[in-house]
């Protein structure tokens, strides 16, 4: 029995080998094989291969350059001015210091100065506010500049300040030629030690808050830093 099984196994192996090699094709027994055209169609044509580039990683959207430039330009375009006023004596400086503490830190300082003699071309004092207003209108019509003379000389008008009496007298003569009458030269101050209020960076946010300083400025205007 064992010999019969072994003989059948050998016969089956021999038959499979003959079938797979096409030796039994004449008997109609052979594995199916694709025809040549079909085989060619099944081949991959390397000329038609295309490599697709890998998609780049999605980047975080950046702020447009024009928007960033606009923000920078807006910040840079805000006007900033340096202003100062003075000189003030010790009593005036103390009153000004108390008024200025309401301003932002480091936005102001009181700096000691040695005030030298100064003269003024002056009109006044006037009897009342109506007379003062009339003189202002006359000066504007003549194109003559003026400002407040300071608390000690109110109500009046300053037509110019000068470091020497000679300079003030020359200015008075020129104003007389323009038709200015009833002006005179006065000494505004002598050689004294004092203080100057210094505001190094006045911007649009700080400017309205300077109104709170007006009562303590003793009539001295805020001017551009020298």
Q: How far apart are CA 112 and CA 7, in angstroms?
A: 128
In the chain, where the domains are located: 79-116+193-226, 118-190
Burial class for 200, CB neighbours closer than 10 Å (0-12, 13-18, 19+) = middle
- According to DSSP, the residues that pair with 162 across neighbouring strands are 119
In the numeric block, the tokens 């020359």 are attached to 170
Supply the pLDDT for residue 117.
87
**CATH of segment(s) 79-116+193-226:** 3.30.70
Supply the pLDDT for residue 150.
86
Contact of 109 with 100, CB cutoff 8 Å: no
Supply the pLDDT for residue 14.
72
Length of the chain: 226
Contact of 171 with 163, CB cutoff 8 Å: no
Burial class for 94, CB neighbours closer than 10 Å (0-12, 13-18, 19+) = middle
Which of 95, 109, 89, 85 minimizes the C-alpha distance to 193?
A: 89
Contact of 125 with 192, CB cutoff 8 Å: no
Q: How far apart are CA 136 and CA 220, in angstroms?
A: 18
**Is there a shared CATH topology between the 79-116+193-226 domain and the 118-190 domain?**
yes
Supply the pLDDT for residue 75.
46
The structure's pTM equals: 0.42
Which of 200, 204, 190, 205 minimizes the C-alpha distance to 222?
A: 200
Query: Which helix (H) or strand (E) covers residue 111, if one does?
Result: strand 109-115
pLDDT in tens, the chain (226 residues): 667 777 777 777 777 766 666 666 666 666 655 555 555 555 555 555 565 665 666 655 555 555 555 545 444 455 789 999 988 888 999 999 999 998 998 999 999 988 788 999 999 999 999 999 999 999 999 999 999 998 889 999 999 999 999 999 999 999 999 999 999 999 988 777 889 999 999 999 999 999 989 999 988 899 999 7
Supply the pLDDT for residue 192.
77
Beta strands in 58-191 (DSSP E): 81-88, 109-115, 118-123, 157-162, 184-189
Domain 118-190 -> CATH class = alpha beta
């Amino acid at each position: 029995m064992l010999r019969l099984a072994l003989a059948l196994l050998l016969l089956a192996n021999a038959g499979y080998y003959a079938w797979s090699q096409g030796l039994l094709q004449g008997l109609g027994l052979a594995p199916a094989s694709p025809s040549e055209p079909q085989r060619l169609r099944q081949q991959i044509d390397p000329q038609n291969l295309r490599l697709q580039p890998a998609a780049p990683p999605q980047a975080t959207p950046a702020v447009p350059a024009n928007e960033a430039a606009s923000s920078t330009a807006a910040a840079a375009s805000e006007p900033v001015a340096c202003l100062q006023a003075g000189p003030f004596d010790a009593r005036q400086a103390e009153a000004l210091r108390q008024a200025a503490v309401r301003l932002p830190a480091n936005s102001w300082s009181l700096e000691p100065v040695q005030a030298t003699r100064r003269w003024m071309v002056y009109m006044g004092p006037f009897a009342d506010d109506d007379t003062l207003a009339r003189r202002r209108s006359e000066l504007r019509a003549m194109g003559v500049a003026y400002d407040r003379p300071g608390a000690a000389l109110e109500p009046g008008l300053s037509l110019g300040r000068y470091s020497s009496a000679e300079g003030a007298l020359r200015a008075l003569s020129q104003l007389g030629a323009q038709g200015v009458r009833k002006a005179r030269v006065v000494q505004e101050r002598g050689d004294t030690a004092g203080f100057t209020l210094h505001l190094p960076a006045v911007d649009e946010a700080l400017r309205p808050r300077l109104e709170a300083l007006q009562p303590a400025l003793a009539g001295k205007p805020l001017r551009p830093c020298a």
